[in-house]
C-alpha cells in the first residue's frame, strides 16, 4: 500500500507539472496574440485582468532572460578583452603607420611589384 501510495503521489506530481507546462505554453501563445492585437491597434483597456496578468508575467520572464543574456555577453567580453593584445594609444598607431609607410618607400620588392613602373617609367617591367 505504501509503495502504491508513493507511486500515485509521484504520478500526480508529474501530471501536475505537465499541466503547468501546457498552461505556460498556452499563456505564452495568448500573450503573443494579445501583443499582435495591440500592434494592430486594439485598445489596452479592452483586455481583461487575466490577460494583463499573463502579459506582465511573460514580459517579466523575457526581461529576466535578457538580463541573464546580457550578463553572459559581458562575461564573454571580459574574457575576450583579457586575451586581446593591448590597445595602443592613437599617437603610437600613427607613428607605427608612418614607419611602415616609410619602410615601403625604400623596399625594393614593394617598388617593383606594386608600382610596376608607375613612379619611374624607365624601370623595366618584369613578368
Distances (CA, A) of 67 to 32, 37, 53, 60: 21, 27, 21, 11
User: What pLDDT is attached to residue 101?
Assistant: 61
Largest distance between two CA atoms of the chain:
106
User: What pLDDT is attached to residue 18?
Assistant: 96
Cα distance between residue 27 and residue 42, in whole Å: 19
Cα distance between residue 9 and residue 127, in whole Å: 86
pLDDT tens per residue, range 23-73: 988 888 888 887 788 778 888 788 788 777 877 877 788 889 999 999 999
Cα distance between residue 108 and residue 119, in whole Å: 13
Cα distance between residue 123 and residue 66, in whole Å: 63
pLDDT tens per residue, range 109-119: 666 666 555 55
Question: Any residues with CB less than 8 A from the CB of 31 and at least 6 apart, and which?
Answer: 54, 55, 58, 59
Q: Which helix (H) or strand (E) holds 39?
A: helix 2-40
Amino acid at each position: 500500500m505504501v509503495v502504491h501510495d508513493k507511486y500515485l503521489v509521484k504520478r500526480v506530481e508529474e501530471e501536475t507539472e505537465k499541466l503547468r507546462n501546457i498552461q505556460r505554453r498556452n499563456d505564452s501563445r495568448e500573450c503573443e496574440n494579445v501583443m499582435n492585437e495591440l500592434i494592430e491597434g486594439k485598445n489596452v483597456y479592452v483586455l481583461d485582468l487575466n490577460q494583463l496578468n499573463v502579459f506582465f508575467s511573460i514580459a517579466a520572464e523575457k526581461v529576466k532572460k535578457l538580463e541573464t543574456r546580457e550578463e553572459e555577453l559581458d562575461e564573454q567580453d571580459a574574457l575576450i578583452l583579457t586575451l586581446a593584445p593591448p590597445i595602443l594609444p592613437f599617437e603610437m598607431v600613427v607613428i607605427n603607420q608612418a614607419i611602415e609607410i616609410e619602410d615601403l618607400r625604400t623596399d625594393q620588392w614593394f617598388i617593383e611589384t606594386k608600382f610596376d613602373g608607375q613612379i619611374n617609367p624607365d624601370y623595366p617591367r618584369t613578368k
